[in-house]
Structure 1
Amino acid sequence: MKKIKLGLVSKLVIAIIIGIILGNMKFLPANLLRVLITLSSLFGEFLNFIIPLMIIGFVVKGIAELSEGAGKLLGITALTAYCSTLIAGTIAYFVAKNLFPTFITAELIEKVKGNVEPLTPFFKINLTPMLDVTSAVVFAFIMGLSISWLKGNGRGKVLFEVFDDFEAIISKVLSKVIIPLLPLFIAGNFTNMSYTGSVFSVLSIFWKVFVIVIILHLLYVSLMFTVSGTYAGKNPFRLIRNQVNGYMTAIGTQSSAATIPVNLKCAEKNGVSEDIRNFVVPLCATIHLAGSMITITSCSVAVLLMNGINFNFGTVFGFIAMLGVAMVAAPGAPGGAIMSALPFLPMVGITTEVMQQLMITLYLTQDSFGTAANVSGDNAIAVFIDKLYTRKIKKA
């Protein structure tokens, strides 16, 4: 018989269902449920331990690699990608802030709190991270920029290879430990929510956020193609039609890197010159995360509203601006974007383990759509950059 292989989203859905069922089995001894809660809590401690190492692994290599490229072309592409990510997050914030309160009401917030005390783990091991998040971020930026400078002077190869190998180790930990155990983590969380009686209130919010986020993805990608197509003198509708294969491939693979070959074909159909598409598309697959930013910003606002936490644009924009840099190279690992976001969530008030679990669940259930929006936006940027450089050549 052919072995059935479940994807991450399927496993998460199954974990949610199991958690809901277990939490509602009132005849089960609470101590039996606490076994699962304990395992989930231990995983959470390990996750907090690995997060600073993830920042170092992803950010150092990501920044160091940006020294490779065609000078101004690299700078303009990176700036365009970063601005797009900021704009996407800003749009998501204002849509979420004005739309989400229409269904995340005060009455629903009370139901989310539950009607009984949540279960607690039997014990914790108090696994202390080797570095705190702030130290990891500062160290990563210093090392990334320094290695980039060294490479520009014909040095730093050995140091780059050290952090390249370190990034590979962290990616392996993510793919072989963190991601496979996430369903256990989520099952524990939903068991607790089911036990307290808040789970169905949470799910009633989940599906609405999910739908709005996907609509935002599609609208933002369409906006990007409209702007770049208008600037380049090309039909935006034709550009969007040419991108369908790349979008669907990204949904299926859940990987920006795996979609690059198809995305290059889409760029070719859009008339992007070979040199530009071969440079811009692979680079943006690493640094352009507009779709992921829309999702994380929207989910953050949803979680804040669900917990009755006050927030403002200034605070959230600082989070968006920091995350736009911290997520560099994160798409190379499964779930890398949300994992990169975890250490920065306290900036907006998402501080508890339960809130972080909600963020992970919300994000990963639509990760493939966020990836599809990311790679589609990459081609919109390629169209823009191609026209920009064509004009420069003509002026020269």
Structure 2
Amino acid sequence: MNAKKQSVWKNYRFPIILILSIIVGSIIGIVFGKKATVLKPFGDIFLNLMFTVVTPLVFVTIAGAVGNMVNMKRLGKIISNMFLTFLATGFIAGLIIITVVKVFPPAAGVKLTFEAAKALETVKLSDQIVKTLTVTDFGGLFSRSNMMPLIIFSIFFGLCVSSLGAENNIIAKGLDAMSKVMMKFISIIMLYAPIGLGAYFASLIGEFGPQLLGAYARAMVIYYPLCIIYFFVAFSGYSYFAGGTQCIKTFFKNILEPSITSLATQSSLATLPVNLKATENMGVPKDIREIVLPIGATMHMDGTVISSILKISFLFGIFGQEFSGIGTYVAALAISVMGGVVMSGVPGGGLIGEMLIVNLFGFPAEAFPIIATLGFLVDPAATWINCTGDAVTSMVVTRLVEGKDWMKKSVQTLSYAIKG
């Protein structure tokens, strides 16, 4: 019995410490209110450390995974199945939230008073696509604001490295070594996480806690329970598809730390290092997790799809329009998926996506402060679903690439490694 308790403590010690630090931080925020914002710099230090390391981490993991891959057929299989899974889960999430908001309209009975907003900067869809996929110079690649261009560059760089041959490929081995160095760097930064996340939450609750009440309460009552249900039900289904009941147990055993980090930082990129470690513990092969997770942090956004459609239906209700019709639903799904790519990786950074929603649906400029406030309130849960969705997606892709028995093989490999 004592051995079992020790095993539980060993497996969950760090997540438990993180939860306790966030609880303490939240209590400080509630008790001291806005005075708790004095702790914000301690939280910002943690975020800045994570953001500083995430750009080189994305480059070396993707370029290294592709560069060390001899079998280009396997690479194509990973990427094609990854995008197929991204689209499938995003579509399922979209259908679920559309059904929910039709049954429980988030703006029903809500009457908001607001001041006229300043004129919005026009957002052209074509220009935004170009900015999302490319940068104007090489230096712009190495910024967390330009993750999609960096990912594209890393894939092509890795392909060029791989084309030189894997036999004694110094560059490929160097990228692999650098990937290990960066993960070690992350493990050192995470030692500061309990202090950083506790301080961050104290500041967050202290400054914005009162805004969680009022006109947006109904939307929150709809959104947060839905995210919790989606997390347990949909992700259990995806995990079962990936590898049966054993896969479900493995997923939920290892997903606590990424969940805590994503809720606290509200950033897919800040959670990426923790997610990489968690999926390694889940048994996801190195090449799959180091391709799927960095790309997923930028492109796989089930939580963002859910929150975006909630925002759209909320605005429809606020301005007395009916959220209905196949054309409206398809447009909402398309904008939500695209918005996930545009706004990914930045804490509370959905402003561009929210401008797109306001502009493309023809809402007046006054709609922007409404949707921006709603965006902030739903961002923690959206990021949580995005990040944990990346982890379960990596398991699904592994099943599609390596077959349904991949989990058993992974367990056997791990047991052999321990015995060795």
User: TM-score category by the smaller chain?
Assistant: 0.5 to 0.7
User: 8 Å contact 1:90–1:317 — kept in the other structure?
Assistant: no
| In 1, Cα distance between equivalents of 2:245 and 2:147 | 42
1:307-363: CA deviation from partner (whole Å, max 9, x where unpaired): 2112314213213213313431522333333422322334445x1222221111011
Where does the alignment leave 5 or more consecutive residues of structure 2 unmatched?
1-34, 42-61, 67-74, 149-207, 407-420
In the TM superposition, what are the counterparts of 1:1-396 in structure 2 within 5 Å? 4-6=38-40, 70-100=75-105, 104-105=107-108, 108=109, 112=111, 129=121, 132-133=122-123, 136-141=124-129, 161=138, 164=141, 168=145, 204-231=214-241, 232-235=243-246, 236-314=248-326, 315-328=328-341, 330-349=343-362, 351-391=363-403
Over 3 Å counting, the alpha-carbon distance change for 1:253 and 1:384 in structure 2 is same
Tell me by how many angstroms 1:392 deviates: 9.2
| In 2, Cα distance between equivalents of 1:229 and 1:167 | 30
| In 2, Cα distance between equivalents of 1:224 and 1:347 | 30
1:69-116: CA deviation from partner (whole Å, max 9, x where unpaired): 633322321232133223212211210121127xx54xx35xx266xx
Task: Tell me which moved more, 289-298 or 309-318.
Answer: 309-318
What is the DSSP-based 3-state SS (H/G/I as helix, E as strand, rest coil) of the residue aligned with 1:336? coil
| In 2, Cα distance between equivalents of 1:159 and 1:301 | 36
Where does the alignment leave 5 or more consecutive residues of structure 1 unmatched?
8-64, 148-157, 172-186, 188-199
Task: Tell me which moved more, 207-216 or 223-232.
Answer: 223-232
| In 2, Cα distance between equivalents of 1:252 and 1:120 | 32
Over 3 Å counting, the alpha-carbon distance change for 1:258 and 1:203 in structure 2 is closer
Q: Specify the alignment match of 2:409 in structure 1.
A: none
- Cα root mean square deviation, aligned: 3.9
What is the DSSP-based 3-state SS (H/G/I as helix, E as strand, rest coil) of the residue aligned with 2:104? helix
Q: State the TM-score, normalized to the length of structure 1.
A: 0.60
Tell me by how many angstroms 1:165 deviates: 7.2
Task: Tell me which moved more, 330-339 or 287-296.
Answer: 330-339
Tell me by how many angstroms 1:270 deviates: 2.1
| Number of equivalenced pairs | 280
Tell me by how many angstroms 1:237 deviates: 4.4
Q: Specify the alignment match of 1:182 in structure 2.
A: none
User: 8 Å contact 1:296–1:338 — kept in the other structure?
Assistant: no
Letter in 2 for 1:233: G
User: 8 Å contact 2:305–2:333 — kept in the other structure?
Assistant: yes
Tell me by how many angstroms 1:139 deviates: 4.1
Letter in 2 for 1:92: I
| In 1, Cα distance between equivalents of 2:275 and 2:147 | 27
Letter in 2 for 1:86: F
Q: State the TM-score, normalized to the length of structure 2.
A: 0.57
| In 2, Cα distance between equivalents of 1:288 and 1:254 | 15
Letter in 1 for 2:83: A
Over 3 Å counting, the alpha-carbon distance change for 1:228 and 1:160 in structure 2 is farther
| In 1, Cα distance between equivalents of 2:272 and 2:103 | 36
| In 2, Cα distance between equivalents of 1:255 and 1:280 | 17
Tell me by how many angstroms 1:369 deviates: 1.8
User: 8 Å contact 1:323–1:341 — kept in the other structure?
Assistant: no
| In 2, Cα distance between equivalents of 1:159 and 1:363 | 30
User: 8 Å contact 2:304–2:337 — kept in the other structure?
Assistant: no
| In 1, Cα distance between equivalents of 2:312 and 2:85 | 24
Letter in 1 for 2:235: F
Over 3 Å counting, the alpha-carbon distance change for 1:355 and 1:163 in structure 2 is same
Over 3 Å counting, the alpha-carbon distance change for 1:379 and 1:348 in structure 2 is same
Identical-pair percentage: 24
1:216-267: CA deviation from partner (whole Å, max 9, x where unpaired): 1122222332222222224324422421211111111111111112112221
User: 8 Å contact 2:262–2:380 — kept in the other structure?
Assistant: yes
User: 8 Å contact 1:228–1:380 — kept in the other structure?
Assistant: yes
